[in-house]
């Protein structure tokens, strides 16, 4: 079994040497020699199960060994199809399997966010269809189930790819048990950008409670509130809080946060237009609909969280009696949703939280951190 110094030290040193040589425009053969050394060491580690376990243990102890091997392994897989070297099919498959095992042992995210060649789509039909998106099931590294979200408003281009990767790099820094991570994007499965995230075996929040009559709705709400509070503490506005933008694994996991702004930036479309086109009007705060200047804020998220409470307990979209968005907007002008009957789980305390979320004045709505405490 290899030890810490045999993994981290040499790879880190060789990476630094390669960077220095490139900056100094060193001889191409010298750079290639160093690259080959890193590559050979990566292959040796990923082919050897005890070495993978050692790397995972080092990661748990605070040494970023797994992240380094993930990065070098992804480079290796990306270069292999176009390379003229003698990397065998067996080596390729063993390295891919080694990366999958490393991810399962450490739960680290891909170091390189462009996942072309690493992800395959499964089945002939999407498992979920929205107005402007689809969800497909796929496999990352031929082993790890993932969700592929096709954003049909965003065509593949250098601009869209760079914008998404930039945002995913930022989101990758978020660490919270109620935030679903994004692995990266795929651009070679059709004309539209695909985002890649862990597969949610229980579907989204609304699907889950419909299938499980005895689901602990209050616990799921607490999870969603905790995740949203964390996003707000990091200066991030979700922008599209609904029960379908929260998944369930063991706990509720918020997903798709900030997506309206990203899509809007790429398509040169205001985020509000993106949201209304996607059918989100029922969850939107009134200031986003009626004010001349519509800006997504934390207070907008709080209003939408109130609608999520209603949706979770009724298992119907907000304003279910309104069939069209125009009817929803008319109803929103002077009222909030009525309290549903025959919902004993929707206690006075929880209904009071929803009503506070629906204060017309954004400044009068509670902070999500306060709602986390209220829902305990």
pLDDT of amino acid 351: 95
Phi first, then psi, for residue 51 (nearest 5°) are: -65, -40
What pLDDT digit, counting tens, does each position of 134-187 carry? 899 999 999 999 999 998 888 999 999 999 998 898 888 899 999 988 999 999
Same domain, 91 and 182: no
Last residue of a domain, one of 198, 216, 242: 198
CATH code of 185's domain:
3.30.200.20
Question: How far, rounded to the nearest angstrom, does the alpha carbon of residue 166 sit from its chain's CA centroid?
Answer: 13
- Classify residue 86: in a domain, yes or no: yes
Most confident of the ranges 1-15, 19-33, 94-108: 94-108
Specify the pairing of strand 133-140 against strand 128-129.
antiparallel
Same domain, 100 and 141: no
C-alpha dihedral, 278 to 281 to 283 to 284, nearest 10°: 110
Residue 225 has pLDDT above 90, yes or no: yes
Under 8 Å between Cβ of 294 and 237: no
Same domain, 265 and 337: yes
Same domain, 175 and 223: no
- Classify residue 177: in a domain, yes or no: yes
- Residue 70's domain spans which residues? 4-106
pLDDT of amino acid 278: 62
* Location of structure tokens 């207070």: 299
Last residue of a domain, one of 78, 106, 134: 106
Handedness of CA 7, 8, 9, 13 (dihedral sign): positive
The contacts of residue 102 (CB under 8 Å, 6+ apart) are 46, 52, 55, 56, 66, 69, 70, 73, 108
Handedness of CA 290, 291, 297, 298 (dihedral sign): negative
Higher pLDDT pick, 62 / 80: 62
Same domain, 310 and 255: yes
Distances (CA, A) of 118 to 32, 122, 369: 24, 13, 39
CATH code of 289's domain:
1.10.510.10
- Classify residue 286: in a domain, yes or no: yes
Under 8 Å between Cβ of 145 and 199: yes
Give long-range contacts, CB 8 A cutoff, 24+ apart: 291-297.
294/270, 296/237, 296/239, 296/260, 296/261, 296/271, 297/237, 297/362
Last residue of a domain, one of 166, 198, 230: 198
- Classify residue 68: in a domain, yes or no: yes
- Classify residue 113: in a domain, yes or no: no
Enter the pTM of the model: 0.85
Same domain, 353 and 214: yes
Handedness of CA 72, 78, 79, 84 (dihedral sign): positive
Same domain, 18 and 139: no
Same domain, 181 and 215: no
Same domain, 67 and 170: no
Same domain, 284 and 363: yes
- Classify residue 112: in a domain, yes or no: no
Q: How many domains does the chain have?
A: 3
What pLDDT digit, counting tens, does each position of 17-65 carry? 545 555 555 556 555 666 677 788 888 889 988 889 988 998 898 888 8
- Classify residue 114: in a domain, yes or no: no
Same domain, 232 and 184: no
- Mean of the pLDDT values across residues 306-332? 88
- Classify residue 317: in a domain, yes or no: yes
Same domain, 146 and 263: no
* Location of structure tokens 């005890």: 50
């Amino acid at each position: 079994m290899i030890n810490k110094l045999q993994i981290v030290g040499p790879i880190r040193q060789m990476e630094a040497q390669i960077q220095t040589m490139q900056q100094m425009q060193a001889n191409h053969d010298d750079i290639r020699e160093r690259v080959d050394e890193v590559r050979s060491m990566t292959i040796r580690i990923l082919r050897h199960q005890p070495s993978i376990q050692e790397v995972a243990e080092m990661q748990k102890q605070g040494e970023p060994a797994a992240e380094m091997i993930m990065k070098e392994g992804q480079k290796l897989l990306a270069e292999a199809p176009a390379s003229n070297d003698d990397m065998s099919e067996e080596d390729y498959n063993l390295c891919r399997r080694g990366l999958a095992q490393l991810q399962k042992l450490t739960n680290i995210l891909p170091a390189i966010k462009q996942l072309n060649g690493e992800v395959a789509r499964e089945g002939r039909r999407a498992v979920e269809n929205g107005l402007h998106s689809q969800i497909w099931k796929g496999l990352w590294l031929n082993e790890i189930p993932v969700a592929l979200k096709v954003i049909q408003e965003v065509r593949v281009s250098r601009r869209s790819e760079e914008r998404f990767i930039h945002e995913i790099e930022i989101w990758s820094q978020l660490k919270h048990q109620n935030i679903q991570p994004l692995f990266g994007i795929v651009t070679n499965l059709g004309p539209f950008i695909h985002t890649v995230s862990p597969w949610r075996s229980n579907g989204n929040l609304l699907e889950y409670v419909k299938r499980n009559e005895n689901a602990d709705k209050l616990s799921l709400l607490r999870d969603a509130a905790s995740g949203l509070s964390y996003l707000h503490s990091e200066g991030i506005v979700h922008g599209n809080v609904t029960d379908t933008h929260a998944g369930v694994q063991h706990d509720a996991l918020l997903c798709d946060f900030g997506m309206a702004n990203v899509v809007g930036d790429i398509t040169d479309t205001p985020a509000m237009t993106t949201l209304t086109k996607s059918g989100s009007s029922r969850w939107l705060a009134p200031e986003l609909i009626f004010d001349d200047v519509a800006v997504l804020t934390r207070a907008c998220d709080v209003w939408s969280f109130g609608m999520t409470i209603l949706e979770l307990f009724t298992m119907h979209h907000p304003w279910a009696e309104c069939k069209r968005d125009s009817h929803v907007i008319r109803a929103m002008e002077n009222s909030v949703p009525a309290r549903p009957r025959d919902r004993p789980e929707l206690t006075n305390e929880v209904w009071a939280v929803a009503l506070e979320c629906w204060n017309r004045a954004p400044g009068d709505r509670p902070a999500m951190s306060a709602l986390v405490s209220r829902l305990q």
